[in-house]
Amino acid sequence: MAGQSDPHLSIFSPSEVEFVAEDEIVEIVPNIRMEALNMICGDFGPFFPQIPSKVPLWLAVALKKRGKCTIRTPDWMAVDRLTQVLDAERESPKEFQPLPFHYIEISKLLFDHARDDISDAYLVRSLIEDIRDVRFHKVETGLETISGRTHAVKLKNLSAMEVNIVRPFMVRTLQAFYKHDSPQMIQQADNTGSRTTPVTDRGPRRDLRRSLNLLTVFE
Protein backbone atom coordinates (compact mmCIF):
# COMPACT_ATOMS: atom_id res chain seq x y z
CA MET A 1 0.00 0.00 0.00
CA ALA A 2 1.72 3.15 -1.21
CA GLY A 3 0.07 5.37 1.35
CA GLN A 4 2.28 3.95 4.07
CA SER A 5 5.37 5.63 2.63
CA ASP A 6 3.77 8.76 1.13
CA PRO A 7 3.36 11.55 3.73
CA HIS A 8 0.73 13.21 1.53
CA LEU A 9 -1.50 10.10 1.62
CA SER A 10 -1.08 8.87 5.21
CA ILE A 11 -2.22 10.80 8.27
CA PHE A 12 0.50 9.28 10.43
CA SER A 13 3.72 7.49 9.60
CA PRO A 14 3.98 3.83 10.70
CA SER A 15 6.43 4.84 13.45
CA GLU A 16 3.91 7.38 14.80
CA VAL A 17 1.14 4.78 14.86
CA GLU A 18 3.53 2.45 16.70
CA PHE A 19 4.32 5.21 19.20
CA VAL A 20 0.61 5.55 20.06
CA ALA A 21 0.34 1.76 20.44
CA GLU A 22 3.05 1.76 23.11
CA ASP A 23 0.46 3.03 25.61
CA GLU A 24 -1.48 -0.24 25.37
CA ILE A 25 -1.45 -2.25 28.61
CA VAL A 26 0.31 -5.63 28.75
CA GLU A 27 1.19 -8.03 31.52
CA ILE A 28 4.75 -8.65 32.68
CA VAL A 29 6.35 -11.04 35.16
CA PRO A 30 9.19 -9.23 37.00
CA ASN A 31 12.26 -11.17 38.10
CA ILE A 32 13.38 -8.51 40.61
CA ARG A 33 11.89 -6.51 43.46
CA MET A 34 11.38 -2.85 42.61
CA GLU A 35 9.55 0.09 44.14
CA ALA A 36 6.61 1.70 42.38
CA LEU A 37 7.39 3.88 39.38
CA ASN A 38 5.62 7.26 39.48
CA MET A 39 5.08 8.46 35.93
CA ILE A 40 3.16 11.39 34.46
CA CYS A 41 0.79 8.85 32.87
CA GLY A 42 0.26 6.98 36.15
CA ASP A 43 1.85 4.90 38.88
CA PHE A 44 3.04 1.35 38.17
CA GLY A 45 4.22 -1.16 40.70
CA PRO A 46 5.58 -1.97 43.18
CA PHE A 47 7.02 -5.02 41.47
CA PHE A 48 7.81 -8.38 43.07
CA PRO A 49 9.58 -11.41 41.56
CA GLN A 50 7.23 -13.80 39.73
CA ILE A 51 4.16 -11.71 40.57
CA PRO A 52 2.40 -10.58 37.33
CA SER A 53 1.83 -6.86 36.92
CA LYS A 54 0.18 -4.73 34.25
CA VAL A 55 2.13 -1.89 32.66
CA PRO A 56 2.14 0.10 29.39
CA LEU A 57 3.87 -1.64 26.51
CA TRP A 58 6.65 0.97 26.37
CA LEU A 59 7.52 0.28 30.02
CA ALA A 60 7.36 -3.48 29.48
CA VAL A 61 9.82 -3.17 26.58
CA ALA A 62 12.15 -0.95 28.63
CA LEU A 63 12.21 -3.45 31.53
CA LYS A 64 12.62 -6.37 29.13
CA LYS A 65 15.66 -4.74 27.51
CA ARG A 66 17.26 -4.48 30.95
CA GLY A 67 16.54 -8.12 31.74
CA LYS A 68 14.17 -7.24 34.57
CA CYS A 69 11.04 -9.04 33.36
CA THR A 70 9.40 -11.30 30.83
CA ILE A 71 6.37 -10.15 28.84
CA ARG A 72 3.29 -12.34 28.77
CA THR A 73 1.90 -12.83 25.30
CA PRO A 74 -1.67 -11.43 25.06
CA ASP A 75 -4.44 -14.05 24.85
CA TRP A 76 -5.38 -12.94 21.34
CA MET A 77 -1.90 -13.94 20.12
CA ALA A 78 -2.45 -17.61 21.00
CA VAL A 79 -2.16 -19.93 17.99
CA ASP A 80 -5.68 -21.32 18.43
CA ARG A 81 -7.21 -17.84 18.64
CA LEU A 82 -5.31 -16.53 15.60
CA THR A 83 -6.25 -19.63 13.60
CA GLN A 84 -9.94 -19.01 14.37
CA VAL A 85 -9.62 -15.36 13.35
CA LEU A 86 -7.87 -16.24 10.09
CA ASP A 87 -10.52 -18.83 9.19
CA ALA A 88 -13.31 -16.37 9.98
CA GLU A 89 -11.63 -13.62 7.92
CA ARG A 90 -11.42 -15.94 4.91
CA GLU A 91 -15.02 -17.11 5.28
CA SER A 92 -16.44 -13.57 5.59
CA PRO A 93 -15.27 -11.55 2.57
CA LYS A 94 -17.26 -8.46 3.62
CA GLU A 95 -16.62 -8.47 7.37
CA PHE A 96 -13.59 -7.82 9.57
CA GLN A 97 -13.11 -9.85 12.73
CA PRO A 98 -12.66 -7.94 16.02
CA LEU A 99 -9.01 -7.62 16.98
CA PRO A 100 -7.15 -5.17 19.25
CA PHE A 101 -7.09 -1.71 17.65
CA HIS A 102 -3.27 -1.85 17.59
CA TYR A 103 -2.79 -5.56 16.88
CA ILE A 104 -0.25 -4.95 14.10
CA GLU A 105 1.92 -2.60 16.16
CA ILE A 106 1.69 -4.64 19.38
CA SER A 107 2.73 -7.85 17.66
CA LYS A 108 5.61 -6.08 15.88
CA LEU A 109 6.93 -4.62 19.14
CA LEU A 110 6.72 -7.98 20.89
CA PHE A 111 8.51 -9.76 18.05
CA ASP A 112 11.19 -7.07 18.00
CA HIS A 113 11.85 -7.01 21.74
CA ALA A 114 10.35 -10.13 23.39
CA ARG A 115 10.46 -12.87 20.78
CA ASP A 116 11.80 -15.34 23.31
CA ASP A 117 8.67 -14.87 25.43
CA ILE A 118 6.31 -15.91 22.59
CA SER A 119 5.37 -19.57 22.29
CA ASP A 120 5.46 -20.88 18.70
CA ALA A 121 6.79 -17.49 17.62
CA TYR A 122 7.28 -18.47 13.97
CA LEU A 123 3.71 -19.81 13.64
CA VAL A 124 2.21 -16.82 15.48
CA ARG A 125 4.04 -14.39 13.22
CA SER A 126 2.93 -16.28 10.11
CA LEU A 127 -0.71 -16.26 11.24
CA ILE A 128 -0.67 -12.53 12.00
CA GLU A 129 0.85 -11.77 8.60
CA ASP A 130 -1.78 -13.93 6.90
CA ILE A 131 -4.57 -12.16 8.80
CA ARG A 132 -3.16 -8.77 7.87
CA ASP A 133 -2.87 -9.74 4.19
CA VAL A 134 -6.44 -11.09 4.06
CA ARG A 135 -7.80 -7.93 5.67
CA PHE A 136 -5.87 -5.63 3.33
CA HIS A 137 -7.15 -7.63 0.37
CA LYS A 138 -10.72 -7.09 1.60
CA VAL A 139 -10.07 -3.37 1.81
CA GLU A 140 -8.64 -3.23 -1.72
CA THR A 141 -11.56 -5.26 -3.05
CA GLY A 142 -14.00 -2.95 -1.30
CA LEU A 143 -12.36 0.14 -2.82
CA GLU A 144 -12.97 -1.31 -6.27
CA THR A 145 -16.73 -1.34 -5.62
CA ILE A 146 -16.93 2.40 -4.91
CA SER A 147 -18.80 4.28 -7.61
CA GLY A 148 -20.25 7.71 -8.20
CA ARG A 149 -23.44 6.61 -6.42
CA THR A 150 -21.55 5.91 -3.16
CA HIS A 151 -22.05 8.71 -0.64
CA ALA A 152 -20.45 7.11 2.41
CA VAL A 153 -18.79 3.88 3.47
CA LYS A 154 -19.11 1.79 6.62
CA LEU A 155 -15.98 0.00 7.81
CA LYS A 156 -16.12 -1.85 11.12
CA ASN A 157 -13.34 -3.44 13.21
CA LEU A 158 -10.45 -1.91 11.27
CA SER A 159 -7.19 -1.51 13.18
CA ALA A 160 -5.20 1.70 13.61
CA MET A 161 -2.69 0.88 10.89
CA GLU A 162 -5.46 -0.19 8.50
CA VAL A 163 -7.39 3.02 9.14
CA ASN A 164 -4.23 5.06 8.64
CA ILE A 165 -3.63 3.48 5.25
CA VAL A 166 -7.21 3.33 3.99
CA ARG A 167 -8.79 6.59 5.14
CA PRO A 168 -6.89 9.02 2.85
CA PHE A 169 -7.65 6.89 -0.24
CA MET A 170 -11.30 6.57 0.77
CA VAL A 171 -11.77 10.27 1.45
CA ARG A 172 -10.08 11.36 -1.78
CA THR A 173 -12.08 8.88 -3.82
CA LEU A 174 -15.42 10.06 -2.42
CA GLN A 175 -14.39 13.68 -2.83
CA ALA A 176 -13.46 13.06 -6.47
CA PHE A 177 -16.83 11.45 -7.21
CA TYR A 178 -18.69 14.22 -5.41
CA LYS A 179 -16.80 16.94 -7.24
CA HIS A 180 -17.36 15.20 -10.58
CA ASP A 181 -21.11 14.92 -10.00
CA SER A 182 -21.58 18.43 -8.58
CA PRO A 183 -21.24 21.36 -11.04
CA GLN A 184 -21.49 23.82 -8.15
CA MET A 185 -18.57 22.15 -6.43
CA ILE A 186 -16.49 22.35 -9.60
CA GLN A 187 -17.32 26.07 -10.02
CA GLN A 188 -16.53 26.78 -6.38
CA ALA A 189 -13.23 24.93 -6.65
CA ASP A 190 -12.31 26.96 -9.74
CA ASN A 191 -13.12 30.25 -7.98
CA THR A 192 -11.11 29.41 -4.88
CA GLY A 193 -8.33 27.42 -6.49
CA SER A 194 -5.90 30.33 -6.44
CA ARG A 195 -6.44 31.14 -2.78
CA THR A 196 -3.86 30.04 -0.23
CA THR A 197 -5.06 28.56 3.03
CA PRO A 198 -2.84 29.52 5.98
CA VAL A 199 -1.30 26.66 7.90
CA THR A 200 -2.30 26.57 11.53
CA ASP A 201 -1.00 24.59 14.45
CA ARG A 202 -3.26 21.58 14.92
CA GLY A 203 -2.08 21.02 18.44
CA PRO A 204 -1.52 17.51 19.89
CA ARG A 205 -1.97 14.59 17.57
CA ARG A 206 -5.49 13.25 17.57
CA ASP A 207 -6.29 9.83 18.89
CA LEU A 208 -6.42 7.41 15.96
CA ARG A 209 -9.75 6.14 17.24
CA ARG A 210 -11.23 9.47 16.15
CA SER A 211 -10.07 8.67 12.62
CA LEU A 212 -11.84 5.34 12.89
CA ASN A 213 -15.05 7.12 13.90
CA LEU A 214 -14.79 9.29 10.79
CA LEU A 215 -14.75 6.15 8.67
CA THR A 216 -17.65 4.45 10.43
CA VAL A 217 -20.55 6.14 8.66
CA PHE A 218 -23.47 4.59 6.89
CA GLU A 219 -23.90 4.16 3.15
The single-letter code of the amino acid at 48 is F
Q: What is the pLDDT of residues 21-63, one digit of tens each?
A: 999 999 999 999 999 999 988 999 999 999 999 999 999 999 9
Least confident of 44-53, 94-103, 134-143, 208-217: 208-217
Residues 164-208 pLDDT 10s = 887 777 667 667 666 766 555 445 545 555 454 444 444 333 433
Cα separations in angstroms, 153 against 212, 213, 214, 216: 12, 12, 10, 7
| Residue 149 DSSP one-character state | T
Q: How confident is the model at residue 214 (pLDDT cuts 50, 70, 90)?
A: very low
Checking if the pLDDT of 4 tops 80, the result is no
Q: Where are the alpha helices (DSSP H) in 22-158?
A: 57-65, 79-91, 103-113, 121-144
The CATH code for residues 73-181 is 1.20.58.1020
CATH fold of 14-72, please?
Answer: Ribosomal Protein L9; domain 1 (3.40.5)
Q: What is the pLDDT of residue 10?
A: 53
3-class SS of residue 25: strand
pLDDT digits (tens, 9 = 90+) for 192-203: 554 544 444 443
Every domain of the chain and the residues it spans: 14-72, 73-181
Q: Point out which residues pair with 70 in neighbouring strands.
A: 29
User: What whole-number distance in Å separates Cα of residue 145 and Cα of residue 141?
Assistant: 7
Mean pLDDT of the residues in the chain: 79
